[in-house]
Structure 1
């Protein structure tokens, strides 16, 4: 975007004060709602002069939200989103994604919190069973499962047989939080099988990758046998399903007759307010400002992995604020209380044991000060991971009614 496209007025000096990005971005969002084209162009020009994807946290927030707001104004969101995804896919590789995931797990419990909580719940629900079938609908590149295999290997009774069915929708992903294509999953499967042999755990690895979206999943895809104890693990999965199809997706999970369902989602509401642009913008700004500030405090300033996570976030911001097609559906996050309302129609809310909570608390001690854990209350069940007292990730466990 060139500044010559906008009014050549001097930037407001107060824009460089603390949290200037949020102030300017709100001005622009309000102008979009008011259809004030002169104000829109002026604020976009100011943002363009101050923003940078390589600057400090304020400059990065300004840069990525500027991109989304510009696409909103020019009605180019869907095209720009597809262009960004295609560009990311060209540079995507298993090794690069693996480095980003592992580094993120090293510096932040953002993802490992859900892994530890879910693994504890699954192991407890399937204790004593000889044949386990875990259906993994997530975006974790199987990084969750080595610790579970270790736990199975040290079980006091006979080591069970584990079948792991991993769902890959959409034919591939563009970043650390995205999906994995067939060749990537083949390599992951080989690594998992090698590790299972090392642990002495009888193991079978299956991939369901021929679907274009999670809403196409059906019970028959998994080949579940009568003597298998089933667990369904959903990490970041529900937000990938279109809002209008989420209850149908939950009913599909119930048809699998699982002993336990674990659900982990980021705590943000981009769904119920999607028809009110300014409210959706405010929630998106709140969520990603917190996320970018967390990344800034967790990673080195020159971290390549941090840049990759920020670019992934920029695509999500664009999809939420500027896309009107299918692209936006998969980024409509909901909060724990909203997911509980949906899930309680098909399952009974379970609770994490004291041992599971102790496992999570032990995990958090490995990270910098600022992370904490608290139980959900009111309309929610489960556990929240918080960053500086702000709920950021919700983890829950569900049982058949």
Structure 2
């Protein structure tokens, strides 16, 4: 049973002044799956691909109206719209109801300045209920039904293997949120090389939010698989960090005779915006042969001072993600619900928490995503882009053929862009890239 911070009862909001007309409109929307024009009007009327306000998509229209009311400090409008959303939302309903549920929780916390309390409570509950087995099932099922994460794994592994080809002592520094599901394929590739199998040291960087018991289980499984593959293997964990920005070269134990690769999948966005340049330059001091970076394609940074614009971008991105989940998983999937709960915490962090600290309620991490071109500008201060070889691109294309229609690969456009883009229904959703000093 979920711990509910956003109590789905109208009385929780103290909406004694909400009139019967609002109640009738909410009932009408629930019956017809459409918002009344007088309450859900919006200037964002585009029906292009990826627009969360397309035909029949009532949630985004109400949510945007509420975000606008928040920015204008129109308390009576805020109360009325949150009440309507509360009547219509459900964390266990269809895609529209789920969007309404998760975003209205963030809007409520923004309105009441309860973002930090709610975020920390939800994070604490998630950590207590986390186990290796539940996380493993969720990740593997997600990889089975969607290339959202495997796209980055295949592209990064290909770039790492090519950059470290011929080296006898490899050191991969893994700064990611993949629970090491990326590495069995790479170990298998190392084991089948024609030349002598190299030694591999894998250093996994985590924050204290990931339980040590989880990493202990991962260590045992990785060491067992490496023995099975016949790859000489060392496994190290750097885990005494509250924030990734605290990571130093000394903690990583890089040796002069090692060929180093740094793998960052969904990692850089967890660093507060003001610290990102410093972390990129720290990675440069490691002297890596290659740095792989995979991030989700959204911009929650450039509009930090404009709540409505930030809300629109957040809604656009998560509407795509929730739609993808709805079409990929069974409605009763526990793994899907776990992914949606993670999204809920991210939405809350971006929209309802202290924006002066990078948008994070936690002392550990940020959720401020940046687009591929923004990361390119940042990374080019310390690195040069490495184009993916034809073989790697072919591997990615072969991967996408394993999944349902709607996924495609897009090469970079223009000189100011690098990497590869995964698209869902022609909308870029994940960006993968490789870099060298």
Whether TM-score is above 0.5 comes out as yes
SS of equivalent to 2:361: helix
Task: Report whether the alignment pairs 1:200 with 2:238.
Answer: no
Counterpart position of 2:430: 393
Structure 2 unaligned segments of length 5 or more: list them. Answer: 1-6, 35-55
Structure 1 unaligned segments of length 5 or more: list them. Answer: 173-179
In 2, distance between residues paired with 1:222 and 1:38? 54
**How has the CA–CA distance of structure 1 residues 49 and 213 changed in structure 2, closer, same or farther, with 3 Å as cutoff?**
same
Contact 1:236 1:265 (8 Å CA) reproduced = yes
Q: Deviations over 1:49-90 (max 9, x none)?
A: 000001100000000001000000000000000010111111
Pairs within 5 Å for 1:118-157: 118-157=156-195
Q: Deviations over 1:124-152 (max 9, x none)?
A: 00000000000000000000000000000
Which of 86, 95, 117 does residue 155 from structure 2 map onto? Answer: 117
SS of equivalent to 2:111: helix
Which of 380, 383, 394 does residue 420 from structure 2 map onto? Answer: 383
Contact 2:115 2:361 (8 Å CA) reproduced = no
In 1, distance between residues paired with 2:343 and 2:57? 19
State the Cα distance separating 1:181 from its structure 2 match.
Answer: 2.0
State the Cα distance separating 1:11 from its structure 2 match.
Answer: 4.5
Pairs within 5 Å for 1:52-71: 52-71=90-109
SS of equivalent to 1:311: helix
SS of equivalent to 1:327: coil
State the Cα distance separating 1:187 from its structure 2 match.
Answer: 1.2
State the Cα distance separating 1:113 from its structure 2 match.
Answer: 0.3
Which of 64, 67, 70 does residue 29 from structure 1 map onto? Answer: 67
Counterpart position of 1:219: 249
Q: Provide TM-score, normalisation by structure 1.
A: 0.96
In 2, distance between residues paired with 1:292 and 1:11? 28
Counterpart position of 1:175: none
Q: Provide TM-score, normalisation by structure 2.
A: 0.88
In 1, distance between residues paired with 2:156 and 2:125? 33
SS of equivalent to 1:272: coil
In 1, distance between residues paired with 2:203 and 2:127? 24
Which of 370, 374, 396 does residue 410 from structure 2 map onto? Answer: 374
* C-alpha RMSD over aligned residues: 1.1
SS of equivalent to 1:137: strand
Task: Report whether the alignment pairs 1:259 with 2:266.
Answer: no
In 1, distance between residues paired with 2:291 and 2:228? 28
Counterpart position of 1:238: 268
SS of equivalent to 1:87: helix
In 1, distance between residues paired with 2:338 and 2:290? 34
Task: Report whether the alignment pairs 1:298 with 2:328.
Answer: yes
Counterpart position of 1:177: none
Task: Report whether the alignment pairs 1:322 with 2:329.
Answer: no
